[in-house]
Structure 1
Amino acid sequence: MTTAAAAAEQAEPEPVENRPVVVGLDGSPAALVALDWAAEEARTRGCGLELVYVHPGDRYALAVIDIAPQELADDIFDEALDRLASRGFGDLEVQTVLRFGIVPRVLLRESIGAPMLVVGRQGRGKLAELVLGSTALATAAHARVPVTVVPDTWEPGSTPRRRVLLGVDGSQRGESAVEYAFALAAARGAAIVAVHVISLPYAYPADRPLRSDVAHFERAAENVFDNSVHPWRTKYPNVEVTTATEYGHPAAILAEYAKDVDLAVIGGRGYGRVTGMLLGSIARSILRQMPVPVTVVRD
């Protein structure tokens, strides 16, 4: 029996968390867009929000800027609360928390035991890490809870598409993401679009394998779906699942599929002590390019 099959047989549906969804705020427009998504998620889950502003300094140090940390935090929280009220989320239970220290580290600590941490995808530029944003990168790489990174271009649709995009790579480290996606889809009455992307070796043409090798790649993809997806289809028979195999770079392919879904779910993967390597280069590329919120579920 495969690892996924054993997990599917033993897994029980997670109870709805009573703890609030944690949202990182910094006063930026990107963080406010993330707040919009988090508010809708909290309402769906039946929980509240914990808004966290981390001041990157010492509580007792002299302020470098004219505004004291508490005043700055109050301004950020007031703007967030006004936005929630204006968008119909004034009934949510909201906590505000001011902390001091290194932003990603504090957010990670605050999110322990929470159902989810939500951050904005910040930054523009040519360097990959700048485009993604250091806070989004570090939290997605290290969090012990699901982390949803919301692009600053995201806008809520008038009606949900009720489709979840799932990136499937067939690895054992990606099984937690598959489990999360199925449990989420079952709870929300959503369908899953499971996509496995094959990156061809450099010796092959850019977009397709040689005709003589197509059968080999197709069998490999079928094995990935059989081992990673099929056990969860058995566990959640009411979840509609569509599978697709594509050739190319995972980030570009998944970005195309993301145009017709509400949310994407991927695994973190990656090894090493360097922050970026802990997340994995493919996951980082996906986070940078996706037009919809992406939930990263680490093992």
Structure 2
Amino acid sequence: MTTTPIPAEHVAPVNARQIVVGLDGSPSALVALDWAASEARTRGCGLTLVYAHPGDRYSLAVLDTAPQELADDIFDEALDRLATSGFGDLDVRTVLRYGLVPRILLRASMRAPMLVVGRQGLGRFAELVMGSTSLACAAHARVPLTIVPESWEAPARARNCVLLGVDGSARGEAAVEYAFRLAAERGARIVAVHAMQLPLGYPTDRPLRPDTARYEEAAAEVYLTSVNPWLAKFPDVEVTTAVEYGHPALALAQYAAGADLAVIGGRGHGRVTGMLLGSVARSVLRRMPIPVTVIRDPRA
């Protein structure tokens, strides 16, 4: 394993051949590291491990441990984990920086192919279902961001399936494109799921009612405008489409067991489209049992 420490004074983004992984000493971050290492090997690139200390270099961290010592312990644990799990041949770099954690991770990953973080971490917000760092990164990342749940384990055999959330919005097109390009590169299939939130009180078992056809036609239009153009560009990618009635997060979760990765857009339709991260995206990130890659619209 080649390891290259990068001085704390170095604040420029890492190069385009290094996946950035946020570490904080939590079990969730180590699981994210496992996923990132596998992804780096598949892509033929390296890893840059970033520990962001929320203070200045002269402050003391928890347990009266100096930031540099704390970072060394975190990096040593990560490097040992990579070596024992068969990723000792990767080019790995380590970075200690000081300041706001999300801001540091976002800046470090500006030119990287991907930023990877764990869904939960240590800190004042650790009691939340989703850590504040991962949520902030999802709202602002300009590169693909993959959030890995702490419960994730590498499957014995890849399922060769990308789960794609489709909402039919123009802002979601970047996620559709990413999913198709990824599936084409990996020889994987796509399961595209569109969830329709019906009016309150509307039965979800699709009974024979006069307005049922209207919802079916709307779903067909979503696939016609969002998926079909990319299917024409990538005719070798096998695509299965599904329409579910209910909340998008619950609909996607139904298909997670058969997929390696879920891909969603950061924003879409809904009452809170003005927010930096849509409510649907936040809900999906909280619930999915598999890694989720968030692709934000570059125009956002």
Superposition TM-score, scaled by structure 1 size: 0.89
8 Å Cα contact 2:60/2:67 also seen in 1: no
Q: 1:199 maps to what in 2?
A: 197
Q: Which residue of 2 aligns with 1:4?
A: none
The reply on whether 1:177 has 2:157 as its aligned counterpart is no
1:30–1:122 Cα contact (<8 Å) kept: yes
Deviation at 1:106, TM superposition (A): 0.6
* Alignment-derived partner of residue 261 in structure 2: 263
Question: CA RMSD, aligned part only?
Answer: 2.1
Identity, % of aligned positions: 73
- Cα distance in 1 for partners of 2:251, 2:40 equals 30
Aligned ranges 1:117-196 → 2 under 5 Å: 117-122=115-120, 130-196=128-194
In structure 1, how many angstroms separate the alpha carbons of the residues matched to 2:206 and 2:135?
32
Q: Is the 8 A contact 2:167 2:268 kept in 1?
A: no
Change (3 A) 1:116 1:209: farther
Deviation at 1:130, TM superposition (A): 1.6
Please give the residue correspondences for 1:206-217 in structure 2 after superposition, counting only pairs within 5 Å: 206-208=204-206, 211-217=209-215
The aligned counterpart of 1:34 is 32
Distance 2:88 2:131 in 1: 29
- Choose 213-222 or 136-145, whichever is displaced more: 213-222
1:257 partner letter:
Y
Cα distance in 1 for residues equivalent to 2:62 and 2:202? 56
CA distance in 2, matches of 1:28, 1:62: 18
Deviation at 1:105, TM superposition (A): 0.8
Between the aligned partners of 1:241 and 1:61, the Cα distance in structure 2 is: 53
Structure 1: runs of 5 or more not aligned: 1-16
Q: Which amino acid aligns with 1:43?
A: R
Equivalent residue runs for 1:17-96 within 5 Å: 18-61=16-59, 65-96=63-94
Equivalence for 1:5: none
Picking from 210, 217, 220, the partner of 1:219 is 217
Contact 1:266–1:283, Cα closer than 8 Å, also in 2: yes
Looking at structure 1, the residues matched to 188 and 91 of structure 2 have their Cα atoms a distance apart, in angstroms, of: 26
2:26·2:121 contact (CA, 8 Å) conserved in 1?
no
Q: Which moved more, 1:127-136 or 1:53-62?
A: 127-136
* Preserved CA contact (<8 Å) 2:169 2:268: no
Task: Report the equivalent of 1:102.
Answer: 100
Change (3 A) 1:138 1:270: farther
SS at match of 2:262: strand
- In structure 2, runs of 5+ residues without a counterpart are 1-14
Asked if 2 retains the 8 angstrom alpha-carbon contact of 1:270 and 1:278, the reply is no
- Aligned CA distance change for structure 1 residues 38 and 227 (closer, same or farther; 3 Å): same
Q: Is the 8 A contact 1:123 1:131 kept in 2?
A: no
The worse-fitting range, judged by mean Cα deviation, of 261-270 and 94-103 is 261-270
Do the aligned residues in 1 keep the contact of 2:59 with 2:66 (CA within 8 Å)? no
Q: How many residues align?
A: 278
Displacement of 1:290: 0.3
Structure 2: distance between partners of 1:242 and 1:79: 41
Deviation at 1:242, TM superposition (A): 0.5
1:234 corresponds to which residue? Answer: 232
| Over 6 Å off, 4+ runs | none
> Contact between 2:59 and 2:67, CA under 8 Å: does it hold in 1?
no
Task: Give the match's secondary structure for 1:23.
Answer: strand
Query: C-alpha displacement at 1:208, in angstroms?
Result: 3.4
Change (3 A) 1:224 1:63: closer
| Cα distance, 1:92–1:149 mapped onto 2, change above 3 Å | same
Q: 1:129: Cα distance to partner? A: 8.9
What whole-Å deviation, never above 9, does each CA across 1:105-138 have from its counterpart, x for those lacking one? 11001010100000001169xx999211101100
Query: How far, CA to CA, are the matches of 1:103 and 1:207 in structure 2?
Result: 45
Residue type matched to 1:179 in 2?
E
The aligned amino acid for 1:162 is N
SS in 1 for 2:211: helix
Q: How big is the shift at 1:60?
A: 3.1
Secondary structure of 1:277's counterpart equals coil
How far does the alpha carbon of each residue in 1:135-158 deviate from its partner, in whole angstroms, 9 at most, with x for none? 110001100001000000000001
- Name the amino acid aligned to 1:103: V
